[in-house]
Structure 1
Amino acid sequence: MIRDPSILIVYSTFGDGHLQVANALKQRFASLGYHRVHMVDLFAESHPFLNAISRFAYLKSTVYYPRMYGLSYHWMNKSKPDAAMYGWLHGLGKRKMLELADRLKPDAVIHTFPFLAVSQLNQEAKLNVPTFTVLTDYVPHNRWMHPGTDRYFVATDEVKAMMMQEGVNGSRISVSGIPIRESFRKPLNKCEIEQKYGLESGKNYVLLVAGAYGVLSNLRQLLHTVLKQSNADVLLVCGKNRKLQDRLIHDYRQEGRVRVFGYVNDMEELMSASSCLITKAGGITLTEASALALPVIVYRPLPGQEEGNATSLAKSGALLIARTTDELADHLHRLEEDAYRTRMGNAIRRLCGLDAGASVVTEVLQFVEQFKNVRQRASSAEERQVVHG
């Protein structure tokens, strides 16, 4: 193996999942003794104003205009990976990436967000760096695909098959699962967690997560349904939406069955203390919950990748989808049945058998080593040709 490779991970803060996957990979590299791992939000670094506007539009559209967001998602997915539109999008970060490549001399670039400037530069022969893309959803989108990408890492065989239908060679796709932080794969002491958060041993808790930016719709209706239709207390996580957190703390200050949190770094602790999770259908959140065998109910999945995530996992029996509060109530009642929870738990465990972080890091290091050896042999051949004229 290369003794001390330089690894560059490209992520984005459109949602929290892309950053979490980047952090998970960085942790895995570090656990193996590789510490020259650099992370960059390339879109934010390249075009901070455009990035801020795009993030604002993304968050607002998902809350107030979900159908429009879904139409936009599916319209873009109709374009082929080599479409001019995608070339323009990936090209937005090329200048900054050339600066980073000159300064950091990366031996590999890993994308956890489809801003594929390095793949574009490789195709244009302006760089020659092994590039890898880690898809963070359970459905593919053509924006993730690029002819200049060396290897893709995907969640399931189904995702691989769908990408092959779009023309990606199967030898370039590895079914690794989605990388998550090590804390979700380690045994947790439930008694210590209950003491830390002041939770009651033996009591049922429903974890209600509004997303990283607190944008889950109909939050009060969901809360009312859980309190009315079950005997569980609610652990309500508002993410980075401080206004929502303050408002709910005020409104439910007299309700002893509700505990309100802001952004939670140790989400694995609240998940392990809960009997059920109600949330959005972000690929990372669903993977984290599956690693802890936590039953999930997705409420009104956002049209686009979240609906695809929810539908894909619901087919395998690993989660439930509720589109109304009546459906939510029905699902809560079903999860009270031991036999049903057992079947769902088995489906979840089949989903989370892969150690995705280890798979991705091992394969990246092997590829980089092979790439370096080939380049050295080619360089030696050229030198011999010059010497022997």
Structure 2
Amino acid sequence: MNKPNPRIMILTAKFGEGHLQASQSLKQSFINQSVQDIRVIDLFQAAHPFFNEVSKKVYLTSMRTPKYGLDYYGWSYYITRYNKLDRPWTKYFNYIGEKKLREIIVQEQPDAIINVFPFGAAPEVAHKLDIPTFTVLTDYALHNRWVHPEMSKYYVATNELKDELVSQGFSQEQIEVTGIPIREAFYHVSPQTNKYGQLLDPAKKTVMIAAGAYGVLDEIKEMVQFLLSQVDCQIAIVCGRNSKLEASLNEDFAAMNHVHIFGFVENIQDLMALSSCIVTKAGGLTLSEALSLALPVFIYKPFGGQEKENALFFLRSGIGKIAGTNQVLEEQLVQFLSDDSIAIEMKKRMQAIRKWHAADHIVQNILQTIASEQPQPVLV
């Protein structure tokens, strides 16, 4: 039996959209399970607002610098990837937010703390207060910043990640392979209510390009023109909140009937469901969304660090391809669109790997764990 009215604290951070989206998916699942007392807290913002803003700007800048040969985020990721808990750099990151977290815990009195970002302070503090702490890994690769001996339980995307954690001393029971939490809407895509079915030609294969905030291609116009000249297909380009990119592409492709330009798409799962493949960056949440729909993935110039490792997992698993140049990407897409057997095989592999309803599985397991750790009444 679950504990009535448990208080849940979810710790997250605004470094990319993935951590926030996963946090909101978990929150919604708790609400669906009739748990109402949930706090989603950006611990960096709460503890060090100035440092948080500076760090976010540095992080965003790091996404632009690799093209100039300065991949400082990737360097820092790999230099610290296997650091042990007693290393100064690891100790420093584990200390961040500790004082503020103690204050929040005293105020909120949570029954469980969930890490959706690698905050080492959480298990450090919570263990001393007998509060179970859970970590939800939002990537397909492990960095030691996620690893802490006082963690009650881990929820991971793959069996490979589980094996890595077991090799570091965690028991099989401490790790659940659930997949990465995504929005429930991805499991309920309906052709009958899909408005994009009226915009796209159902007779043509569709290449979806998630251009996003920075764009995933250096020469997107040339690539689109090349694809249309080689294969009978249509292109759907999603610019997100980059209105400048959207306006530019609308002007470039105004005369092309088979090129569709979109800004921010609220129901992105509907557009993905009608696509034959997606060209995207390698964020854990985006890849998980594509995986849920068995949508073959083409990753262009993945950023060093977790995105590169995510991309390599998809490549090893036969469910995605990586391109380092526009020419390679064009060749990959033309081959994919010209040979149906490639799509069939990739989709088959994706269907075998994907985990559905990750958020629900995680929430149910956390609630059961909380209930099992409560003192049992003494029968007299």
TM-score norm. by structure 2 comes to 0.91
Contact 1:318–1:351 (CA under 8 A) maintained in structure 2: no
Is 1:94 the counterpart of 2:98? The answer is yes
* Structure 1 position 342, deviation (Å): 1.1
For 1:143, which of 139, 145, 160 is the aligned residue?
145
Match of 1:192 in 2: 194
1:91-117 CA distances to partner (integer Å, 9 max, x unpaired)?
A: 221222223222222111111111232
Contact 1:152–1:173 (CA under 8 A) maintained in structure 2: yes
Whole-Å separation in 1 of the counterparts to 2:171 and 2:85: 13
Whole-Å separation in 2 of the counterparts to 1:219 and 1:107: 51
Report the CA distance shift for 1:296/1:280 in structure 2 as closer, same or farther (over 3 A). Answer: same
* Structure 1 position 224, deviation (Å): 4.4
**Which aligned pairs between 1:204-353 and structure 2 lie closer than 5 A?**
204-211=205-212, 213-218=213-218, 220=220, 222-336=223-337, 337-353=339-355
Contact 1:77–1:141 (CA under 8 A) maintained in structure 2: yes
**Which aligned pairs between 1:24-63 and structure 2 lie closer than 5 A?**
24-63=25-64
Contact 2:235–2:259 (CA under 8 A) maintained in structure 1: yes
Is 1:68 the counterpart of 2:69? The answer is no
SS in 1 for 2:9: strand
Structure 2 residue identity aligned to 1:26: K
Contact 1:5–1:36 (CA under 8 A) maintained in structure 2: yes
Instruction: Indicate the percent of aligned positions where both proteins have the same amino acid.
Output: 35
Whole-Å separation in 2 of the counterparts to 1:120 and 1:249: 51
Contact 2:18–2:138 (CA under 8 A) maintained in structure 1: yes
Structure 1 residue identity aligned to 2:373: F
Contact 1:300–1:321 (CA under 8 A) maintained in structure 2: yes
SS in 2 for 1:70: helix
Structure 2 residue identity aligned to 1:63: R
Structure 2 residue identity aligned to 1:140: L
1:219-271 CA distances to partner (integer Å, 9 max, x unpaired)?
A: 52544444444332222122233333333334433443333223323110110
* Structure 1 position 90, deviation (Å): 2.6
Whole-Å separation in 1 of the counterparts to 2:46 and 2:230: 47
Whole-Å separation in 1 of the counterparts to 2:216 and 2:86: 34
Match of 1:387 in 2: none
* Structure 1 position 55, deviation (Å): 1.2
Match of 2:81 in 1: 77
Note the aligned Cα RMSD (angstroms): 2.3
* Structure 1 position 136, deviation (Å): 0.6
How many aligned positions are there?
Answer: 373
Contact 1:295–1:345 (CA under 8 A) maintained in structure 2: yes
Is 1:107 the counterpart of 2:111? The answer is yes
Whole-Å separation in 1 of the counterparts to 2:79 and 2:235: 38
Whole-Å separation in 2 of the counterparts to 1:229 and 1:15: 35
1:140-179 CA distances to partner (integer Å, 9 max, x unpaired)?
A: 1001111221111111111111223334343322111111
Contact 1:137–1:155 (CA under 8 A) maintained in structure 2: yes
* Structure 1 position 306, deviation (Å): 1.1
Q: Unpaired segments of 5 or more residues in structure 2?
A: none
Match of 1:366 in 2: 368
1:320-365 CA distances to partner (integer Å, 9 max, x unpaired)?
A: 2222223222322332322221111100101114432222111100
Deviates more, 1:247-256 or 1:281-290: 247-256
SS in 1 for 2:250: helix
Whole-Å separation in 1 of the counterparts to 2:143 and 2:155: 13
Deviates more, 1:297-306 or 1:323-332: 323-332
1:293-328 CA distances to partner (integer Å, 9 max, x unpaired)?
A: 111111121121111111112212111222222322
Report the CA distance shift for 1:117/1:217 in structure 2 as closer, same or farther (over 3 A). Answer: farther
Whole-Å separation in 2 of the counterparts to 1:140 and 1:111: 14
* Structure 1 position 21, deviation (Å): 0.8
Whole-Å separation in 1 of the counterparts to 2:71 and 2:102: 37
Report the CA distance shift for 1:16/1:222 in structure 2 as closer, same or farther (over 3 A). Answer: farther
Structure 1 residue identity aligned to 2:334: H
Contact 1:82–1:147 (CA under 8 A) maintained in structure 2: no
* Structure 1 position 191, deviation (Å): 6.2
Whole-Å separation in 2 of the counterparts to 1:190 and 1:274: 16
Structure 2 residue identity aligned to 1:218: D
Whole-Å separation in 2 of the counterparts to 1:6 and 1:319: 39
Contact 2:299–2:323 (CA under 8 A) maintained in structure 1: yes
Deviates more, 1:327-336 or 1:280-289: 327-336
SS in 2 for 1:335: helix
Whole-Å separation in 2 of the counterparts to 1:369 and 1:219: 55
Contact 1:193–1:273 (CA under 8 A) maintained in structure 2: no
